[in-house]
A and B are shown apart, each in its own frame.
Chain A
Amino acid sequence: MSVEWYDLAQRLYAATHGLLVPRLDARPFGKVSQPVAVRAHVSKGTVVATIALPGQGRHRTTASGPLILDTLAAYGVSLSDQRHWSLVTDDHATLPALHRLARESQPDGPVEHVAALIEWWADRADYPGTAAVVNVVDECRARWVAGTTPDAETSAATWRTWHGIGDESVTGVLALFARLHSAPTLHGLGPIQSDDAHAWTKAREALTGPSTWRTRDPLGAAAVGLRARCDAVEVHAAALLNDARYRRRAVHTGHVVHGVVTWTPGKTAKGIGLAEVACTRLDARLRPQDTIAGWIGHPSTIAPPMRLWGLVQSTSRGTDGSLRLRLSNGNIRALKPGQPVTLTAAPPSEGVIKAGRERYGRLYSRRTSWLTTGRTPTPHRRDVPLDVLIAGAPIDEENP
């Protein structure tokens, strides 16, 4: 991997030019409609927090203990709103401290709608790309490279300095957030934003009934929640590849593969497209049976002339030392020798994610399903027609 040297050059550029270098052109989290900035910590067993709302710092208060929930309620920050509130902070201590307060609050008390909001934040914080919780330091690190060391980038002070923000208070957190939020949303985060909206609606609905968020999730809900988190990680990783700057860097991590088409047999007797791509870099993350997406052109191409999709059939090393990727299926047959191509792992399909999650939820909700009973499912086999067997057989190009 050469990504550390790639990043080093960007750090040196930023340092010698006095400029932040963008890692992304887009904002790597969803659109925030109602931010509330909070900094909280535990001091001598008591949670202390400073809260600010946008709007020339007219709302800024420091409170401790249960008064924090009262203050948030007085500002209207609660689960009662139609539009969701987003927690904006610049450290990793705030959310656990608030969550502790929420859990310790009186069930069905007067600030239940605030405690439930904090629970919602704590849940959504597990989803990368969410607009429910924004840690400005983490997001700045995703968005820019500063002319300093990676360790220094973990400090909010570093980012304030590089953005010319002198306000060290929680209002300064909102100023940093405004810089982040001014960019357009990263393309491909739609499923995560939909999840945010859906989770907000569900949480509000739950408020009208008996308090359920204080109890442990049933097994099925926990399993689906875990799966949803994994889905969000994959969606976010795929969305990052929609950003041209990120793609350029991803060449050095092996997530984006660039090469030249060296061989195509044309349309095979079975109608399956085939092509071989020679890549000078050997650190590609693509493996046999991976589904791929790509385009004809270079990694930084912004509007690719043609989208490709297909499958990695095999990988090998050519006599010239290059990595050879044998591609098949999809629209691979359209490739011509000599064309430069850029390939990545295919992004997850929103429809497949939704259907898979529903199927998973059904299996967990039915007491008789193989998943809840713990029984290994019985395989049901039948004879495969000869035509299907032939079509699925490996292709031997030398002895067709």
Chain B
Amino acid sequence: MTAPHWREQNVNRPVPPALRAYAERLLAGTDLDTDTALVVVTEPAPDHEDSAVLSALRDGWDGAR
């Protein structure tokens, strides 16, 4: 069991391998991978702006804040 995450706010932690594998499965067939997705949710991404996946990812990310 790892240390409780909730104590470590605002620390950019690496994505755990299991979650990364899950993310790659969900993003398969889109033009995004996990690392790109983590960048484009917060920054302008001219190559992806009109994609449904980016829109949903951004909404989820903003909703988490």
Contacts and interface: CB of A to CB of B under 8 A. Distances in A.
B1 A161 contact: yes
A270 interface: no
A178 B59 CA distance: 30
B16 A15 contact: yes
How would you classify the secondary structure of chain B's contact residues: helix, strand, loop or mixed? helix
Most buried by A among B2, B5, B10: B5
Given A2-B55, A19-B9, A152 B18 contact: yes
Nearest to A162: B5
Contacts of A3: 56
A148 B16 contact: yes
A10 B60 contact: yes
Interface in A93-150: 145, 147-150
Interface stretch (A66-74, A245-253, A347-355): A245-253
Contact of A21 (B10, B34, B52, B64): B64
Given A2-B52, A12-B19, A245-B63, A164 B13 contact: no
Q: How large is the interface on B (under 10, 10 to 19, 20 to 34, 35 or more residues)?
A: 35 or more
Given A15-B16, A252-B56, A4 B26 contact: yes
Given A16-B12, A161-B1, A9 B60 contact: yes
Interface string A1-39: 011111111111111111111000000000000000000
A214 interface: no
Interface in B16-65: 16, 18-19, 22-23, 26-27, 34, 37-38, 41, 52-53, 55-61, 63-65
Most A CB contacts (10 A, CB to CB) among B15, B57, B58 go to B57
Contacts of A2: 52-53, 55-56
A67 B7 CA distance: 41
Interface string A327-342: 0000000000000000
Interface in A146-170: 147-150, 152, 157, 160-166
8 contacts: A2-B52, A3-B56, A8-B26, A12-B38, A18-B13, A19-B5, A161-B2, A252-B56
Given A13-B61, A14-B5, 19 more contacts: A3-B56, A8-B23, A9-B41, A9-B61, A10-B60, A12-B19, A12-B34, A12-B37, A16-B14, A17-B10, A18-B6, A18-B11, A20-B6, A21-B64, A149-B22, A161-B2, A162-B5, A165-B4, A252-B56
